[in-house]
Amino acid sequence: MHQVTINQLADYKDQEVELKAWVRFHRKSGKIQFIVIRDGSGFCQTVLVKAEVEESVWEQARLLTLESSVTVRGVVQQNPKNQKYEILVKDLETIHISDPFPITKKEHGTEFLMDHRHLWFRSKSQWAVLRVRHTIVKAIRDFFDSRDFTLIDSPILTPTAAEGSSNLFEVDYFDEKAFLSQTGQLYLEPACAAFRKVYCFGPTFRAEKSKTRRHLTEFWMVEPEIAFAGLADIMDLSEEFIKHIVQRVLETNQEELEILERDTSKLEAVLEPFVRMSYNDAVDKLKGMGSDINWGEDFGADDETMLTKEYDQPIIVHRYPKVFKAFYMEPDPEDDQLVLGMDVLAPEGYGEVIGGGERASSVEFLLDQIEKENLNKQDYEWYLDVRRYGSFPHAGFGLGVERTVAWMCKLPHVRETIPYPRLLHRLSP
């Protein structure tokens, strides 16, 4: 008898198999019992016919509760109605009878589900979301690894702010202060001087007191940095990167997208060329659509939604005003009010999934910026060394995994995109 998992059943049609799983659904109908099981690789229906199993097996099956663990033995067959594979049970062995499972078919509030997050991601939809996340994470690593990027692990504990001091988590570090990292970018810039093309991939932290559907206090970000690259290079790379991720999800996660009732035609449209526009053109367009945005203001969530709603492809907005961008951005040589930055805005109202740009290569410019931002020059001496010893043009970006997962799965909130979300008032489980 073959020991298999549910995702292998198609390879064992009309053969006897054994698998270990948990009970997801149980229905008794006279002399037939239908038990839907899950084993981590997928879901399938099993059928017990009273006349074809021993009485002890029949009675044992009748006692099964939701989330009980079992060993099932039987013949793989194809359901003529939906063409899915199921198991005609010959034998069943109980491993454990579950206590009454707290998450039922009835409507549960968000707080209840978050309190039971450790159990909630057993549900079919949450299983599907986290499977898509796994595909996205693997696609990210494969993309950069196959293009000769070197992985550089940036520190989580840092002595300084990277993107403004108002959203830092401060921690005690022996006899001094430290902060949870907002980004690995500043640590990647020295590394790309050694390896040319690098990336980091790990958790980042923002202490914004935000309750929007797009924000977590702990999230995962991938950040490539490339020597001798400019704004045009990373706009091209970001488009190629997102298309690679979308293509991988479409190839790998058809079952999960079906469970989530995701309209895959929306994802297929992303494989077409992206829309590109300058910040100036975007502001003009928004004003024409009724937005009250003024030049020099960053886009809000409503602006991003409005801007993207008429396009099926992401929009790359480039050349932003210097006033609200990070101190290390390279000025636009054609307009010193602008910087060579860009954002990729996802369609369907999901907004920014990538932010990046070209980094300033002049030590004099950075010294001036540090003074204007009232930053401690001593904290950035190591960062300035990158410009003192063989300065070079370089550029990069960051992609937030959770926002990307939310968009791919068309979820209303990023809290469902990570196994254990950390929100403004949530630190457990």
Query: 192 and 224 share a domain?
Result: yes
Query: 73 and 136 share a domain?
Result: no
Query: 87 and 173 share a domain?
Result: no
Nearest to 408 by CA among 296, 243, 237: 243
Q: 218 in a domain, yes or no?
A: yes
Q: Specify the number of domains making up the chain.
A: 2
Q: 297 in a domain, yes or no?
A: yes
Q: Let me know: does 41 contact 6? Beta carbons within 8 Å.
A: yes
C-alpha torsion angle, residues 195, 233, 410, 7 (rounded to 10) = -50
Query: 223 and 335 share a domain?
Result: yes
Q: 111 in a domain, yes or no?
A: no
Any idea what the CATH number is for the domain that residue 82 is in? 2.40.50.140
> Is the pLDDT assigned to residue 165 strictly greater than 60?
no
Instruction: Work out the widest C-alpha separation in the chain, in whole angstroms.
Output: 86
CB contact set of 202 (below 8 Å; sequence gap of 6+): 153, 154, 156, 184, 220, 221
Nearest to 94 by CA among 62, 123, 49: 62
Which of 109-123, 149-163, 181-195, 306-320 is least confident?
A: 149-163
Structure tokens at 229: 């690259």
pLDDT on residue 35: 97
Query: 38 and 187 share a domain?
Result: no
Read off the pLDDT of residues 384-400 as tens digits, 9 standing for 90 and up.
999 999 999 999 999 99
Q: 105 in a domain, yes or no?
A: no
pLDDT on residue 284: 94
Query: 278 and 318 share a domain?
Result: yes
Structure tokens at 337: 């009010």
Any idea what the CATH number is for the domain that residue 323 is in? 3.30.930.10
Query: 82 and 144 share a domain?
Result: no
Q: 423 in a domain, yes or no?
A: no
Read off the pLDDT of residues 94-115 as tens digits, 9 standing for 90 and up.
999 999 999 988 888 999 999 9
pLDDT on residue 164: 56
Number of H helices, E strands in the chain: 13, 18
Q: Is 212 helix (H, G, I), strand (E, B) or coil?
A: coil
CB contact set of 162 (below 8 Å; sequence gap of 6+): 181, 182, 183, 185, 186, 326
Query: 160 and 54 share a domain?
Result: no
Q: 154 in a domain, yes or no?
A: yes
Q: 428 in a domain, yes or no?
A: no
Q: Let me know: does 75 contact 15? Beta carbons within 8 Å.
A: yes
pLDDT grade, residue 54 (50/70/90)? very high
Q: Let me know: does 183 contact 383? Beta carbons within 8 Å.
A: no
Query: 192 and 327 share a domain?
Result: yes
Single-letter code of the amino acid located at 175: D
> Is the pLDDT assigned to residue 162 strictly greater than 70?
no
Query: Structural domain of residue 184, as residue ranges?
Result: 117-416
What is the distance between the alpha carbons of residues 71 and 121, in angstroms, rounded to a whole number? 22
- C-alpha angle 243-245-247 in degrees, rounded to nearest 5: 65
What is the distance between the alpha carbons of residues 160 and 177, in angstroms, rounded to a whole number? 9
Query: 23 and 167 share a domain?
Result: no
Query: 169 and 279 share a domain?
Result: yes
Q: 427 in a domain, yes or no?
A: no
Query: 222 and 364 share a domain?
Result: yes
What is the distance between the alpha carbons of residues 109 and 113, in angstroms, rounded to a whole number? 6
> Is the pLDDT assigned to residue 215 strictly greater than 90?
no
